[in-house]
Structure 1
Amino acid sequence: MHYRLADGVNLEVISSSKFKLNQILINFATPQTVSNATSRHLLANLLETSTNKYPTQTALATQLAKQYGTDISVGVSRLGQLHCVRLKASFVNDQLAQTDLFNQAVTMIKEVLFNPLATAGQFDGPTFDRQATNLKATIKGYYDDKQFWAARRLLDLYYQDGAVMQVPSFGRAQEVDQLTPASVYQAYQDMLSNDRVDILFLGDTAEQVVKDAFTSLPFTGRTRTSLPIMYQQAGYRQVQRQVDYRPVSQAKLNVAYQLPTCQDKQQYYTSLVFNDLFGGSPYSKLYLNIREKASLAYYASSRLLPFNGLLTIQAGVNSVTAHRVEKMIGEQLVAIQQGQFTDDQLTEVKRGLINQYRSGNDLAGSILGRRLTNRLLNFPDHDGAELIAAVTKDQVVQVAKTLTKQAVYLLSGEI
């Protein structure tokens, strides 16, 4: 059932006795800007590790442990051009625990969200400094992985200068030092007052009890009830190219293709099928023809960002054969555009996606993630397995024909 607790504050209750743990997901969404990702990531870390009542990470963890190991985490993510701060909570359902863990969990969520370790309009200084240092180290650590480095450099090359999408959802290490306890507290107030809020509950608690509990949280109405998610930038006339040289044993070839954003659920699932046929599965053309048959890549796969109008390809190659691999990638796309794949290949790809979708129904986190995405996109509830099964060969060909190469990044091992 769906409820509007206030303007821009929504609750969905999914009643189920299937899982031993009840799950809560609270999503705060706002359009990403060039400056808000880093502060919101630091904010998430501050909320997760301390409150006024439980001022240290140890004190907070001890209290949660007393509640049969209730877990509360706060992190960031991005959907299209929306930046999201997400609180997730899991706890034993009341029938198994034989105590009122649901209301205890909601009380702890209220403490985390509405009673942070802050006074006089700013976060606690020592706690802020510690979490800022940790965040810088975490972000810098991401880039130690050369595969991650190459993927990020491709996105820097693809997204146009000044585009908010150049900024990762986790922020930038160099921006952390510009933040203060007061500026992040202002970001916190803005999030609580202005972000669209979607609350999802999955578990075995009476629906009215769930509604009453979340109605009691001090959320107020806000104007951000519907937000622009899709991001589609103007295409380049010429493919953007960049080569960097590092002492790596394996070169990283990354390619970006633009395609239309997915405006409805059928287009979304057709694009998923195309991606799995192209490079997203062990049955894909990139995997079978470039890695297995030609032995020109240590790995070769594609990733679809359906709400960004972007498909990226990652391949581990030898520097001397990188150009040949890039050419073969284009040839695999042309083959799909010309319908050069069998009905059996299409069936195998769809079967794999259907199995993934159905297995996701056994994972509480997957169920909540799908429901949240549908709510933000205003998609009606649907059976994804049926929509995948309905995808035709002609539909896949038509999606393939919309792709245009936009950027190529090579992290070369030659110096």
Structure 2
Amino acid sequence: MHFDLASGVALHVIPTKQFKMTHVLITFTTSQTRDNATARNLLANLLETSTHRYPTQTALARQLAKLYGAYVGMGVGRVGRLHTVRLRASFVNDQIAGTNLFAQVVDLINEILFHPLIDDNEFDGPTFRIQAHNLRQTITALYDDKQFYANRQLMNLYYPDEAVLRVPSFGRVADLANLTAQNLVPVYQDMVDRDRVDIFVLGDVDPAGVRDEISQLPFSSRAVSSLSPYYQQPPHPAVRRKVEHQPVIQAKLNLGYQLPVYYHDQNYYAGLVFNGLFGGTPYSKLFTNVREKASLAYYATSRLLPFTGFLGVQTGIQAVDAQRVTDLIAQQLAELCAGKFSAEQLAEVQDSLINQYRASHDLANNILGRQLLRALLDLPPETAVTDKINAVTADDVSRVAQLVKMQATYLLSGEK
């Protein structure tokens, strides 16, 4: 059920008795730039830890405890080229609580979003410094994970220097030096006043009552231009390659391909099945032939990003086997192009994808994530998904496989 609360501010209510908890997702969406991701992530951290009424994390935690242990937190995410700041809340529904807990949580959300700890046009100094330090540590720790590090290096090879997708949604350590308690205030004001806002409420709720409560959040109308998450780039004239040496025991070989298959376009379901056969499921060729039969990889997986036309392969290997693994991966792709897979393998992958889809309905966050995509893309409700997956033929898989173009290879090796 959809309500327009103001221009550029939409409320989406999903009544269901499936969950004992009520779930709220509020997203602030704008186009990502090379400069705004770090600032918006730091902003999210500040907003979730302090307000004027609750100036410390301890005070905020005590208030949440009073609300029957409700959860309210903030973070960032990305949908293709779009950057989102997301507030999530979950709490027992009013029928179980025996009180109007929904209204109390909305009041706390109001406090977090519209009464941050800002005085004299700057965020509280000690809180800002703590959160900036924490974010620096968090981002640094991510890159200590060599699998994550290798994937980011592959992305840097795949995307051109100027592409915003080179910048992770959580930002960069280098950008923190330019952020202050003063210049983060305009970032906050811009987000609250100008971003597209989508509010989702999932649970055993009355839509009209939800609308009345959420309408008390003082969102103003805003002129929101059309936002598209899709990103496309021309193929590189030659494959970009990089080998890096670090003291690692397990080498990382990551491959990046262009695959022009986009979310819910005519090839979308064929692309899902192709990826499942290539490396996206335990029934895939990479898992079966590279990892299991040849024993050349500790892991070998593929992932399709349907807003950017990117297909990535990640493997953990012995560095000495890098060329053999590269050749064997190429062989698996060639076999998919030629239709060299059995009807049984196709059916196993389709069943696996359908089971994943059905299982995702058991998690509220997955449901809300799909609702967010529907809202951003203005898509009708999903229908007959299992039928569409099952309708993919071997010829469809081969046709999609033939669209794949190698673009980048990255090897992180412990051997010189």
The verdict on a shared fold, with TM-score over 0.5 as the criterion, is yes
Corresponding residue number in structure 1 for 2:29: 29
Instruction: Map 1:3-402 onto structure 2 (within 5 A).
Output: 3-262=3-262, 264=264, 267-383=267-383, 384-402=385-403
Distance 1:225 1:270 in 2: 32
Task: Determine helix, strand or coil for the equivalent of 1:316.
Answer: strand
Contact 1:256 1:408 in 2 (8 A): yes
Contact 1:45 1:75 in 2 (8 A): yes
Distance 1:45 1:102 in 2: 23
- Indicate how the Cα distance of structure 1 residues 199 and 314 shifts in structure 2: closer, same or farther if over 3 A, else same: same
The Cα of 1:234 is off from its aligned counterpart by 1.6
The Cα of 1:67 is off from its aligned counterpart by 0.5
The Cα of 1:398 is off from its aligned counterpart by 1.6
Contact 1:285 1:332 in 2 (8 A): yes
Distance 1:242 1:269 in 2: 32
Letter in 1 for 2:228: P
Distance 1:341 1:292 in 2: 17
Letter in 1 for 2:308: N
Contact 1:15 1:205 in 2 (8 A): yes
- Indicate how the Cα distance of structure 1 residues 225 and 66 shifts in structure 2: closer, same or farther if over 3 A, else same: farther
* Long gaps (5+) in structure 2: none
Task: Determine helix, strand or coil for the equivalent of 2:14.
Answer: strand
Q: How many residues align?
A: 415
Distance 1:110 1:273 in 2: 43
Task: Determine helix, strand or coil for the equivalent of 2:182.
Answer: helix
Task: Determine helix, strand or coil for the equivalent of 2:156.
Answer: helix
Contact 1:8 1:225 in 2 (8 A): no
Distance 1:42 1:208 in 2: 35
Letter in 2 for 1:413: G
Distance 1:263 1:286 in 2: 24
Contact 2:261 2:271 in 1 (8 A): no
The Cα of 1:321 is off from its aligned counterpart by 1.1
Corresponding residue number in structure 2 for 1:410: 411
Residues 104-137 of structure 1: CA deviation (Å, up to 9, x unaligned): 1111111111111111221111100000000000
The Cα of 1:261 is off from its aligned counterpart by 4.1
The Cα of 1:268 is off from its aligned counterpart by 2.6
* Long gaps (5+) in structure 1: none
Letter in 1 for 2:129: D
Distance 1:301 1:121 in 2: 48
Residues 360-409 of structure 1: CA deviation (Å, up to 9, x unaligned): 11111111111111211222101333322222222222211111000000
- Indicate how the Cα distance of structure 1 residues 273 and 12 shifts in structure 2: closer, same or farther if over 3 A, else same: same
The Cα of 1:100 is off from its aligned counterpart by 0.5
Contact 2:275 2:303 in 1 (8 A): yes
Over the matched positions of the two proteins, sequence identity in percent amounts to: 55
Contact 1:39 1:184 in 2 (8 A): yes
Letter in 2 for 1:391: V
Distance 2:350 2:361 in 1: 17
Distance 2:250 2:25 in 1: 40
Moved more, 37-46 or 342-351: 342-351
Distance 1:120 1:391 in 2: 60
The Cα of 1:55 is off from its aligned counterpart by 0.2
Contact 1:27 1:198 in 2 (8 A): yes
- Indicate how the Cα distance of structure 1 residues 353 and 230 shifts in structure 2: closer, same or farther if over 3 A, else same: same
Letter in 2 for 1:350: Q
Contact 2:154 2:255 in 1 (8 A): yes
Letter in 2 for 1:179: L
The Cα of 1:58 is off from its aligned counterpart by 0.5
Task: Determine helix, strand or coil for the equivalent of 1:143.
Answer: helix
TM-score if structure 2 supplies the norm length?
Answer: 0.98
The Cα of 1:225 is off from its aligned counterpart by 5.0
Task: Determine helix, strand or coil for the equivalent of 1:256.
Answer: strand
Contact 2:263 2:306 in 1 (8 A): no
Residues 309-340 of structure 1: CA deviation (Å, up to 9, x unaligned): 10110011111110111111111111111111
Contact 2:259 2:403 in 1 (8 A): yes
RMSD: 1.1
Distance 2:57 2:113 in 1: 15
The Cα of 1:275 is off from its aligned counterpart by 0.9
Task: Determine helix, strand or coil for the equivalent of 1:182.
Answer: coil
Task: Determine helix, strand or coil for the equivalent of 1:161.
Answer: coil
Letter in 2 for 1:293: K
